[in-house]
Amino acid sequence: MKFFIDTANLNDIREAQALGVLDGVTTNPSLMAKEGITGKDNIMRHYKAICDIVDGDVSAEVISIDLEGMIREGEELVEIDDKIVVKIPMTKEGVKALKYFSGKGIRTNCTLIFSAGQALLAAKAGATYVSPFIGRLDDISTDGIALIEQILLIYRNYGFDTQVLAASVRHPMHIIQCAEVGADVMTGPLNVMEALLKHPLTDLGLEKFLADYNKGNS
């Protein structure tokens, strides 16, 4: 399973890259705003800064909601760097944009996926990735992981090569569950990724090993 970090924070991206397990980055307009990155030029520069840090795909989201605007923005975004994947919302215009970009060999990530039907449409339109938001589904008492399983089954049935990118990951169990059901990618914040490291028995065990070493060497 690929690990993407879901942030526009350059320090977090550097930290995850340094860990050596990072396969890419996802961003969205809210994450950009959270870092105080506003205005088209600054946003484009920020995408370039992200691309310069990571080895892997960097999803950059279009703001337009009409087809022409999505195409114009997407074509500008992919000029920034070869790592850019154009992030397109799941709307009627978005599906047309996915089809347009797949015909041009431009990679896409269809965002705001909340149902298997949406994921099926995105795959038929040639999306490279679909992003089901599992955390936001869990927030409204709907099983996000069950949606991932359902999409994987549908894609397997028909041999779609669209990758299932589990998004809106909120805690380490989401990552484990995504890995259990075979999600192709998960994207989450740095703290959730780092939470995978932690176990109290590891800390206790290490403390004891070091104490015993120091007894023998003091």
**Residues forming the site for ligand E4P (CB under 6 A):** 6, 26, 28, 111, 131, 133, 135-136, 167-168, 187
Minimum CB distance to ligand E4P smaller for 158 or for 194: 194
Task: Give the whole-angstrom CA distance, residue 168 versus residue 186.
Answer: 9
Closest distance between ligand E4P and the C-beta of residue 183, in Å?
13
Q: How many residues does the chain have?
A: 218
In sequence order, which residues have a C-beta less than 8 Å from that of residue 4 and are 6 or more positions away? 22, 23, 24, 25, 26, 56, 57, 59, 165, 185, 186, 187, 188
- Distance in Å, CB of 68 to ligand E4P, minimum: 24
- Report, in Å, the least distance between residue 78 CB and ligand E4P: 18
C-alpha 111/C-alpha 140 separation (Å) is 18
Q: Which of 34, 48, 83, 87 is catalytic?
A: 87
Q: Which is nearer to ligand E4P, 47 or 133 (CB)?
A: 133
**Least distance CB 28 / ligand E4P (angstroms):** 4
What stretch of H or E contains 58?
A: strand 57-61
Nearer to ligand E4P, 111 or 163 (CB): 111
27 close to 7: Cβ distance less than 8 angstroms: yes
Considering beta carbons, is residue 110 or 123 the nearer one to ligand E4P?
A: 110
- Residues in a beta bridge with 110: 88, 130
The yes-or-no answer on residue 87 being catalytic is yes
Annotated active-site positions, please? 87
